[in-house]
Amino acid sequence: MNWEKLNNLLYEFTRLGLDKVLDFDLFNRIAIVHHSSAMEGSTLTLQETALLINEDITAKGKPMSDHQMVKDHYAALLFVMENAKNKTAITPEFLQQISAIVNKNTGQVRQTALGVCDDTKGDFRLGNVTAGSTYFVNYDKVPQMVNTLCSNLQNKVDLVKDDVESIYQLSFDAHFHLVTIHQWFDGNGRSSRLLMNFIQAYHHQPLSLIFIEDKAFYIQALLDTREKNDLDIFRDFMCNQQIKYFEGEIKKYNQGNKGTGFGI
């Protein structure tokens, strides 16, 4: 993992004051919501996502469910950011609140053989699930696994060393472990990425996103990490995504400061 490069880019990102540019926080949140929603099937472009969030303008010809997904995701991100500022404890109930907002308008109330499971309330799944070739843990193991994960994260979130590698690594690990439990019928990816963002915001670090064009590599990193039981695989992928993000923003800033070329 290229933590040194990430640290150097973060220093340059901060030195240039890119995190303090007017409306940067809004732009960053819109980008996070766009890429994360697109990972789950939303067809809205970045521009359409911005228009929806900023002006409540819907995109012609795009499914209403895609708009609802984006708006719910944005609401969940705002919820996560506020709770990070308030240093909310990481508990199963907190994770269920995140999931409930993510699924507010697109979730289902599911009648299963084991009872009613309401996505819009953040209920843990009452049934077993697969995604592609991956089988996730049996539903009856979910509550204990979530409890254990939350306890471990809460024990670490205040004690983690105040350096780039330690903070981002903890957030990447939380992302991986939560999506691997797959405790909901829907919204696992979005909620897991929001937990990652929560830990980053908790420690006042720039938030991570996964670029939609790298979705196949993201899925492969998850699969390889599980198969080889090696967290460094996923950490390396996420580290490189963050490097890509910083490099892109620094490049755009530098291009905007080359001058007008009017020869004045």
CA torsion 214-20-204-74 (nearest 10°) is: -50
Average pLDDT for 150-174: 95
The span from the CA of 53 to the CA of 47, in Å, is 10
Domains of the chain: 3-21+88-251 (1.10.3290.10)
Mean pLDDT computed over 203-220: 96
Q: What is the average per-residue pLDDT within 183-199?
A: 97
Would you place residue 151 in the very low, low, confident or very high pLDDT band (cuts 50, 70, 90)?
very high
Write the burial class of residue 103 (CB in 10 Å: 0-12 exposed, 13-18 middle, 19+ buried). Answer: buried
The pTM for the full model equals 0.94
Determine the average pLDDT of the residues in 151-163. Answer: 94
173 burial via Cβ count (<10 Å: 0-12, 13-18, 19+): buried
Percentage of the residues of the chain whose pLDDT score is greater than 90: 86
Per DSSP, the residues of 132-192 read TTEEPPPGGGHHHHHHHHHHHHHHHHTTS-SSHHHHHHHHHHHHHHHHHH--SSS-HHHHH
**242: Cα separation from own chain's centroid:** 12
pLDDT of residue 22: 62
Q: Which two tokens stand for residue 84?
A: 């990070």
SS3 33: helix
Mean pLDDT of the chain: 94
Please tell me the distance from the alpha carbon of residue 193 to that of residue 98, in angstroms, as a whole number: 11
pLDDT confidence tier of residue 264, bands split at 50, 70 and 90: very low
* Residue 138: CB atoms within 10 Å: 10
Q: Are 167 and 205 in contact (CB under 8 A)?
A: yes
What residue ranges in the chain does DSSP mark as E strands?
A: 109-112, 115-118, 130-131, 134-135
Pairing of the two strands 130-131 and 134-135? antiparallel
Instruction: Count Cα neighbours of 97 within 13 Å in the Cβ-side half-sphere.
Output: 15
Q: Is the pLDDT of residue 45 over 60?
A: yes
